[in-house]
Structure 1
Amino acid sequence: MTPERLAKIRAVLDKRQPDLTVLLERVHKPHNLSAILRSCDAVGVLEAHAVPARQGLPDLEETELNLKGKAYNETSGSAAKWVGLQLHDDTTSAIAHLKAQGFQVLAAHFSERAIDYREADYTRPTCILLGTEKWGVSPEAATLSDEHIQIPMMGMVQSLNVSVAAAVILFEAQRQRIQAGFYEQVRLSLEQYQSVLASWIARHERGQG
């Protein structure tokens, strides 16, 4: 590895935000998953979370239903090699896991209590919860979330593509965190930093980065 490449890897890791993440609930289309993980990488998300699609969901193509754990990991590898992806068996356990780590869970969900996405405080440990384009987040996820956020729409359509919505919200989180100085100092613990650095270097040496 060249000194320049190592310096680049360290510079990126220095800005990773361990307390900013997304939870993708049944986001089953590879191009959406890939685009979301690219946005995660762009704003410094260290690790994303996902609940894969399950059998029995309405109006899903058979090929889409087959996008489970292995496909999620493969898509993660091709779309955003530098963002971890942790899979969960179900929404309840995923949200419980995140809340136990101190995350507020903000569901992108239109409801009577939804606030403008720019009004949320993303300087707190935050998980942005996103569902499928057609169905949105599940009623269970909406109930378990701490807050509902929405992107104001001025046209005929009621919502954005899920990957576009993710990017819009993530870059608002980035804006707030830049203002708060979050990217000016390393925010990972020394142990976590060394662990991630070692895995990134190994990935590079295997020709994956």
Structure 2
Amino acid sequence: MATNQKLSMDDLNRKSVDEFKRSEKTPVIVVLENIRSAYNVGSVFRTADAFLLEAIYITGYTCIPPHKEIKKTALGAEETVTWKHFANATEAITLLKENDYKVYAVEQAINSISLEKIALTSNEKVAFIFGNEVTGVEQTTIEQCDGCIEIPQLGMKHSLNIATAAGVVLWEIVRIRL
């Protein structure tokens, strides 16, 4: 018998939709600003479900559920993760700050904090804004944030797909709180 045997679906102890909704959430909110690809949106929903995040705030022209491309990559997470739509990022940031969230843009910027150096307390409420696949987080949005977080990159390309960037950032934030 193999030492590293793959787990069955029963072994994974997956939560039901009701169990998920009743579970204590990680005090992290993802803000999606003008994301073009519904597949990317669905992937972020799936990541938010995996890490029991509090919510996703969808802003601008980012598509919202129900949408067939979101459904294809979210695999049901659009039914479990709480989400809200806002006309623009300013509306979302205003609500976040009224509720004592620190808000960070995930963007390469002057004075950005390298992801591995972010210092958060275990229950600190934070939000991370992920921007458009081509133009990133809008400058006017960055100016409303408490700072920028940057993912260190070593290769020739200095950008990641938004769904990949979200996975990297969100895992690091969840990991340091475990």
TM-score category by the smaller chain? 0.7 to 0.9
Residue ranges of structure 1 left out of the alignment (5+ in a row): 1-6, 54-67, 179-209
Quote the RMSD (CA, aligned, Å): 1.9
Instruction: Report deviation, 1:11.
Output: 5.2
Q: Give CA deviations for 1:130-171 in whole Å, capped at 9, x if unaligned.
A: 101210000111100101010111111011101100000000
Residues of 2 paired with 1:46 and 1:31: CA distance?
Answer: 21
Secondary structure of 1:21 counterpart: strand
Amino acid at match of 1:74: P
Q: How many residues end up aligned between the 2 structures?
A: 155
Q: Among 31, 34, 53, which residue is 1:26 paired with?
A: 34
Residues of 2 paired with 1:34 and 1:85: CA distance?
Answer: 12
Task: Identify the residue that residue 44 of structure 1 maps to in structure 2.
Answer: 52
User: Which structure features the higher share of strand residues?
Assistant: 2
Percent of counterpart pairs with the same letter? 25
User: Which structure features the higher share of helix residues?
Assistant: 1
TM-score by length of 1: 0.69
CA contact (8 A) 1:34 1:75 kept: no
Residue ranges of structure 2 left out of the alignment (5+ in a row): 1-13
Secondary structure of 1:154 counterpart: coil
CA contact (8 A) 1:73 1:85 kept: no
Name the structure, 1 or 2, with higher relative contact order (CA <8 Å, separation 6+). Answer: 1
Q: Among 70, 81, 84, which residue is 2:82 paired with?
A: 84
Task: Identify the residue that residue 5 of structure 2 maps to in structure 1.
Answer: none
TM-score by length of 2: 0.80
Q: Give CA deviations for 1:69-123 in whole Å, capped at 9, x if unaligned.
A: xx41214972212101100111211111111111100111111110111222343
Residues of 2 paired with 1:83 and 1:121: CA distance?
Answer: 26
Residues of 2 paired with 1:133 and 1:171: CA distance?
Answer: 20
